[in-house]
Structure 1
Amino acid sequence: MMIAAFCGSFDPVTKGHIDIIERASQMFDQVYVFLSKNSEKKETFSFEQRMKWLSQSCAHLSNVICQEQKGLSIDACHRVHATVFIRGIRNTIDFEYEKNIAAMNSLLDSSIETICLFTKEEYAHCSSSNVKELWKYHQDISSLVPDCVSKELTK
């Protein structure tokens, strides 16, 4: 059984994230989506809210399991026996960042491979940071986030 992991803070989850998860779910028997705390970022939405949105957004995917990530991504992979990290790349900035993360993960455990999926063009500009900035200024974010997020944030 091929098991993959996709880790992120999903603050909030975007349509770009869901696209990567859906595509990964077609490539692997099981995909664990780990909601993590990014020590470099201050989250806007609570862990509980982000997990609710993530779980609702992935509910249609029978081989996707959303869980909390405790510790390093490599530890999460070990816990569920994942042999692949899934990462999404929107642009060259993401590429450099992901290349560094992949090298560090390989240093920790070279048996876990990183596979990068390029974001579809329609999601190339779609980041959680962009969503939060638009939302802050009361702009329409419905084209960038799953319906469950859009409905909650436009209340």
Structure 2
Amino acid sequence: MPTAIFCGAFDPVTKGHIDLIERASTLFDHLYVFVAPNSEKHQVFSAERRLAWLKQACMAYPNVSCRIQKGLTVDAARSVHAKYLIRGMRNSQDFEYELNMATMNRSIDDHLETICLFTKPEHMFCSSSNVRELLRYHLDISAFVPDCVRRDLEGGTHEDIE
């Protein structure tokens, strides 16, 4: 049966990410979630910390494994013999970005099929960058992140994002 991957910075992982993971886990025999590097962004939290959050948040999904990605998305897919790449879309800006990435990935590996899942309305404004902005101002992030992230960051000074 098919295997899929879901790659992202997850800086930090949000409830929107977890919703996509949960939904994708019902579509595939196995879903690998990769903490991916992004050369266009500066990650605030270490890859190891983001991986730990993902592992905790995904414990309820027995067919989901979490790893740190090295290299390109197509390399991550090949490393686990996945033929499907899951991506989430919240708005038209995401569409433009995802179309570009799907086309590029397909040009590198024409066996990798991108499947986009639309976000649920309650997660449309839930992004890692929004969470980081709330953290900068010491505001409550509990509506946007899994409990494991909230607990880890709660009460901290969040110096790593200032």
Q: TM-score, normalised by structure 1?
A: 0.98
CA shift digits 1:15-58 (9 cap, x unpaired): 00000000000000000001111111111111111111011001
Q: Give the aligned partner of residue 135 of structure 1.
A: 135
> What is the identity, as a one-letter code, of the residue corresponding to 2:52?
K
Give the match for residue 38 of structure 2. 38
Q: Which residue identity is paired with 1:82?
A: A
Name 2:10's counterpart in structure 1: 10
Unaligned runs of 5+ in 1: none
Q: Which residue of 1 aligns with 2:101?
A: 101
| Correspondence for 1:47 | 47
Cα distance in 2 for residues equivalent to 1:75 and 1:17: 22
Identity, in percent, stands at 59
Rounded Cα–Cα distance in structure 2 between residues aligned with 1:111 and 1:43: 30
1:42 partner letter:
H
Deviations 1:117-151 (A, max 9, x none): 00000000000000000111011110000000011
Name segments (4+ residues, structure 1) moved above 4 Å. none
> Which whole-Å deviations, capped at 9, do the CAs of 1:99-131 have from their partners, x for residues lacking one?
000000110111110000000000000000000
TM-score (structure 2 length as normaliser): 0.94
Q: RMSD of the TM alignment (CA)?
A: 0.6
1:117-128, aligned counterparts within 5 Å? 117-128=117-128
**Structure 1 residue 154 displacement after superposition:** 1.1
Distance 2:148 2:81 in 1: 30
